[in-house]
Chain A
Amino acid sequence: MTNRQVFAPLSLVATGLVCGRGGMALTRALDFSVTSGQCLLLRGPNGTGKTTLLLTLAGIVAPLEGTQALEGTDAEAGPQFHYCGHRNAIKPRLTVAENLGFWAAVNGATGLPIAAALEQVGLDRLGDLDAGYLSAGQSRRLALARLLVSLRPLWLLDEPTAALDSEGQDLVTRLIDAHLDMGGLAIAATHDPITLPDPSRMETMVLGARNSGGPP
């Protein structure tokens, strides 16, 4: 696509994946595949299993049926995805830079340096501030910066634009677009419309809709 490909070609393939919590199925059997440079948007009303699907893909919730696999990765390489959930995993007593530096250390500082990542998400002047003073939107930005400091090909984003202003929603779009440029994959559950500059990279899967029988 571009000359900035960083990740080896990958594809996330799910076959007959049924996700649910507490033994109750929330989704129909899902068959989909996402390949490098593609973004899959999950849409659908509350309670239709968007978060559960992301947690299942992250391996935190076991699927009720079916399988999912990230094809093309080295099995020894460690986790290949970033999960960005509702909770921001920010410690209020550490500074913004310390929070980010910690994740860079435990996930491998393979991506942007701390300062550059903070600049990307618009927190560049707040590095020394205690993270407890950040607003909800700023906390969200800090959570997104975590995806930038360690390179991992698959992003699982749960409501990435929650609490963000319209500029922040553009930021999420830009970050996803840049990630796809590098050959990454993204799966995002969202209520806000995310429109990438190149619509052909984006697919939408509606969960919970009665008459949408098949995958995109």
Chain B
Amino acid sequence: MIAFRAMVARELRLALRGGGDVLTLVLFFVIVGAIVPFAVGPDRALLARIAPGMVWIAAFLAMLLGLDRLFRPDHEDGSLILLRQADLPLSAVVAAKLIAHWLVAALPLIVASPFLAMLLAMDEPTFWRMLVSLLVGTPALAAFGAVGAAVTVAIRRGGLIAPILIAPLSIPVLIFGTGSITASQSGAAMLFLAALSLMAVALAPFAAALAISSAED
């Protein structure tokens, strides 16, 4: 447990001392939302209708951006090899990284989401549903992302491959994420989203650990 906590603390420290990495992701998230009104025009009714999808696309893209720093820096400086021989099992290492990744790559987006809601002319009930759906659904995005990052970590310049690998996996998250924001049947979609998240978070550490340990350095 000490080892697990130390792992999470290290990841958080590295991310927060990363000189604005976190802020970059948040700004990216807000900017994606901000350019939508310019692209589709200032029609409030149209904006409100596409807002749920736009929020999820912005969150998806922003979380893809942060993927590369999940395993690659550790791979490059030799830490990943040593983590494979740590007393802490590799799946626990990945789980710790996943938690830290969600805290620095997803939670700030959720905190920034009111800005997006404002830019996209969301009404208040929709806004609250969006907040809950982001909270419930982003762990799944982080988990799928971790698997993609782990599979591609040993590939030089693999940073661009991971998003392409995990995009198909993320489609259900986007479907149910958007569905849980739009008013009709939002309850059922939210439950599906929660199920997806739970499953992805439970399985991803093992899958990612397997991918890492089967990659020859």
Residue contact B83 to A106, C-beta cutoff 8 Å: yes
Residue contact A83 to B85, C-beta cutoff 8 Å: yes
Chain A neighbourhood of B10, CB < 8 A:
91, 94, 98, 102
Residue contact B217 to A91, C-beta cutoff 8 Å: no
A105 within 8 A of B: yes
CB distance from B74 to the nearest CB of A (A): 8
Residue contact A81 to B85, C-beta cutoff 8 Å: yes
Question: Which of under 10, 10 to 19, 20 to 34, or 35 or more describes the interface residues of B?
Answer: 20 to 34
B40 within 8 A of A: no
B86 within 8 A of A: yes
B124 within 8 A of A: no
User: Which of A54-62, A181-189, A197-205 lies on the face that meets chain B?
Assistant: A54-62
Residue contact A106 to B17, C-beta cutoff 8 Å: no
Residue of A nearest to B85 (CB): A79
Please report the C-alpha to C-alpha distance between residue A83 and residue B80 in the assembled complex, in whole angstroms. Answer: 12
Residue contact B78 to A78, C-beta cutoff 8 Å: no
Residue of B nearest to A152 (CB): B85
User: Which of B1-9, B57-65, B108-116, B171-179 lies on the face that meets chain A?
Assistant: B1-9
Chain B neighbourhood of A86, CB < 8 A:
78
CB within 8 Å of A: which of B53-83? 76-79, 81-83
CB distance from A78 to the nearest CB of B (A): 5
Residue of B nearest to A90 (CB): B77
Chain B neighbourhood of A94, CB < 8 A:
10, 13-14, 17
CB distance from A16 to the nearest CB of B (A): 21
Residue contact A79 to B77, C-beta cutoff 8 Å: no
Chain B neighbourhood of A61, CB < 8 A:
216-217
Residue contact A107 to B87, C-beta cutoff 8 Å: yes
A87 within 8 A of B: yes
A85 within 8 A of B: yes
Residue contact A89 to B77, C-beta cutoff 8 Å: yes
CB distance from B15 to the nearest CB of A (A): 10
The A-B contact count (CB < 8 A) is 75
Residue contact B216 to A60, C-beta cutoff 8 Å: yes
Residue contact A102 to B17, C-beta cutoff 8 Å: no
Residue contact A93 to B86, C-beta cutoff 8 Å: no
B interface residue numbers (CB < 8 A to A)? 2-3, 5-7, 10, 13-14, 17-18, 76-79, 81-88, 93, 216-217
Residue of A nearest to B216 (CB): A61
A interface residue numbers (CB < 8 A to B)? 21, 55, 58-62, 78-79, 81-83, 85-91, 93-94, 98, 101-103, 105-108, 146, 150
> Chain A interface mostly helix, strand, loop or mixed?
loop
Please report the C-alpha to C-alpha distance between residue A102 and residue B18 in the assembled complex, in whole angstroms. Answer: 18
CB distance from B88 to the nearest CB of A (A): 5
CB distance from A171 to the nearest CB of B (A): 20
CB distance from B205 to the nearest CB of A (A): 15
Chain A neighbourhood of B83, CB < 8 A:
106
Please report the C-alpha to C-alpha distance between residue A91 and residue B216 in the assembled complex, in whole angstroms. Answer: 22
Given contacts A60-B84, A79-B85, contact A89 B18 (CB under 8 A): no
Residue contact B86 to A106, C-beta cutoff 8 Å: yes
Residue contact B77 to A91, C-beta cutoff 8 Å: yes
Chain B neighbourhood of A58, CB < 8 A:
81, 85
Please report the C-alpha to C-alpha distance between residue A62 and residue B214 in the assembled complex, in whole angstroms. Answer: 10
Given contacts A61-B217, A90-B77, contact A107 B86 (CB under 8 A): yes
Please report the C-alpha to C-alpha distance between residue A89 and residue B86 in the assembled complex, in whole angstroms. Answer: 13
Residue of A nearest to B10 (CB): A102
Residue of B nearest to A143 (CB): B78
Residue of A nearest to B82 (CB): A89
Chain B neighbourhood of A103, CB < 8 A:
82
Residue from A21, A58, A62 with most neighbouring chain B CB atoms (10 Å): A58
Chain B neighbourhood of A62, CB < 8 A:
216
Residue contact B78 to A87, C-beta cutoff 8 Å: yes
